[in-house]
Structure 1
């Protein structure tokens, strides 16, 4: 529900992480996103991968402790690709760099591949499975989504094989229905 008296923002500008291990985190995020380091010193780094001056910032804060999976707060940050081919290509390139996913799933509205950074922050890479917001919203109000808002696990190797065999992306993005599911894997 929205409040008509609030002017909505035009977009999400950036995310900022605090860490006691700035160098490994900056190295990871630069590699993970193929990002340019716009500015970096021993205290802070600003990274960009698109038209924005920075999308990710990392602050060195020696007082931070290890990531706790049970702490309240941000669960993950998500980055989108335009095509399934792009999502799978990015997954394959990350695999070659030793960056392995923690979970691969077709949520219905999106097909997503999740990762963890060196501090344990969760990252989602995803594509939209529907051509319009209206179609995605219609699916999210359907019986199938009420029954399973988590999704159906997918194998990116299988998606790659099927893409290379010439299967249509639209068909590959259609979620296989498995019935009731309400569990998000602990690794995410």
Structure 2
């Protein structure tokens, strides 16, 4: 398929009400590492090369500040800026130097439903790897959308995403060989559904789930294997009720992949994943998946 100028999902910046407690959780239990900090923010890296994959910002209320992608070339930033307005979004700034740890040059946009997306090129990378039980990167972010068709059209026209699968409640969209980097969930509000951190393999997901359980953070859905994307999953509700997922085995696709529809992704009664072993999502996660809002700009 033609290369998407979006490149690869890199990081998400979130507002947390207790920065120190959130840092302890994401480093001590979730297994990220501090890469940099300022007076009001901490930047956390995973096991891969990105400078950081999660930025925690001190905030009066939990929120999403932006979702950042890493582009393959500087020219991709200009392409995104040019296409954004025509597709119904807004260019908020750039391309311009990034004035935060990690650096690079970025263009920042707002999609038609107000989510802030940032695209960076030339940012700092790590050469050394962290331990094997660390999430390597964020593999996807799921947005709740009051109008999935509007959001889907923008991601396709402005950013070159392609639809991989459409279930009864969700559109899975890709910008590279990962089955999806963004998914759009039918909802009554434009909020965050969850953030998925990819682990090296199934064993690492299971060890991570055990580590979370030991620390008093129960599995809220899983462990199981999804249909679209074929990925293993274990979901948790973290600090400030952010829904976070350990996942592995994300399906890799190319132009030969056949887009599935709702009829292709149904389970027998009582099943909630391919294996048939996962219990249904808890009431707690169902509520948490609706409540985190994006900042307005």
Which TM-score band (shorter chain)? 0.5 to 0.7
TM-score (norm 1): 0.65
Conserved? CA contact 1:32–1:94, under 8 Å: yes
TM-score (norm 2): 0.43
Structure 2 residues not aligned, in runs of 5+ = 65-187, 286-297
Aligned residue for 1:98, secondary structure, equals coil
Aligned residue for 1:13, secondary structure, equals strand
Is 1:133 the counterpart of 2:262? The answer is no
More strand by share: 2
Q: 1:117 aligns with which of 217, 222, 238?
A: 238
1:89 counterpart residue number: 207
How far apart, CA to CA, are the structure 2 residues paired with 1:87 and 1:176? Answer: 16
More helix by share: 1
Per-residue deviation, 1:114: 0.3
Conserved? CA contact 1:36–1:47, under 8 Å: yes
Question: CA offsets per residue over residues 21-47 of structure 1, 9 Å max, x none?
Answer: 211111111223312212234411111
Per-residue deviation, 1:20: 2.3
Q: 1:186 aligns with which of 283, 286, 290?
A: 283
How far apart, CA to CA, are the structure 2 residues paired with 1:99 and 1:177? Answer: 23
Is 1:56 the counterpart of 2:54? The answer is yes
RMSD: 3.4
Q: How many aligned residue pairs are there? A: 152
Structure 1 residues not aligned, in runs of 5+ = 155-174
Question: CA offsets per residue over residues 70-115 of structure 1, 9 Å max, x none?
Answer: 8631110001123212211221222223332211132222221001
